[in-house]
Amino acid sequence: MCSTLGSTAAKPDDQLNTMRQLRNAFGQYPTGVTVITAAARDGRKIGLTANSFASLSLDPPLVIWSIGKTSPSCADFVRAGHFAINVLAEDQTDLSRRFSKPSPDKYVGVACRESLGGTMVLDGCSAHFVCRNLAQHEGGDHLIFIGQIEHFEAEGHAPLVFHSGQYGAVTNNPESI
């Protein structure tokens, strides 16, 4: 089924159905799962689950990720000097769920350590990138962050994957590159 966006003649129900279809189509692209952390200006530790992370540049080393403009922590991330991107391992589904919901107690019982700018690096992740908060750009209903990597580690654990609204794991293909 083909869908079009932006028709001013669409009824509200049709537009809602089209947005659902678009979201389902986006879900066909498998992604990794990350927890983005930072320190708010008042010292609170903030964090959220995101699958919008991507590498941007090797020279200089840059990454991007995005947050919904209506997210309760959006303004705190804008004002943060640094953020950390924690790439979750396949056994960290619980961390993904924990950081996907608003809660002041997200870090209670979570094994982690403080890094540059008060960011939190979560233990057991596949990799993490600690970044200077370089810039933000408007992107529809989201704000796109660009970070310059100042420190990173890759543990090599198999990553957690998200596809079609479900968590999964990477399987090896014997015909891999």
Dist. CA 138–CA 140, nearest whole Å? 6
19 in a structural domain:
no
Q: Domains in the chain: how many in total?
A: 1
174 in a structural domain:
no
Instruction: Give the closest residue to 76 by CA, choosing from 32, 45, 51.
Output: 45
Instruction: Give the closest residue to 3 by CA, choosing from 27, 24, 28.
Output: 24
pLDDT value, residue 7? 45
45-50/120-122 β-pairing = unpaired
pLDDT value, residue 11? 59
pLDDT value, residue 160? 94
Show the CA angle centred on residue 133, arms to residues 90 and 140, nearest 5°: 80
76 in a structural domain:
yes
CATH number of domain containing 138:
2.30.110.10
100 in a structural domain:
yes
Which domain, by its residues, includes 43? Answer: 33-160
pLDDT value, residue 168? 84
DSSP H or E stretch at residue 86:
strand 82-87
pLDDT value, residue 28? 80
25 in a structural domain:
no
pLDDT value, residue 152? 98
177 in a structural domain:
no
pLDDT value, residue 4? 39
DSSP string, the chain: -------TT--HHHHHHHHHHHHHHHTTS-EE-EEEEEE-TTS-EEEEEES--EEEETTTTEEEEEEETT-TTHHHHHH-SEEEEEE-BTT-HHHHHHHTS--TTTTTT--EEE-GGG-EEETT-SEEEEEEEEEEEEETTEEEEEEEEEEEEE--PPBEEEETTEEEE----TT--
101 in a structural domain:
yes
pLDDT tens string, the chain, 177 residues long: the values are 323 344 445 556 677 678 888 888 887 877 899 999 999 999 999 999 999 999 999 999 999 999 999 999 999 999 999 999 999 999 999 999 999 998 888 999 999 999 999 999 999 999 999 999 999 999 999 999 999 999 999 998 999 998 888 888 888 777 766
- Terminal C-alpha separation, the chain: 33
pLDDT value, residue 5? 46
Strand partners, 38: 46
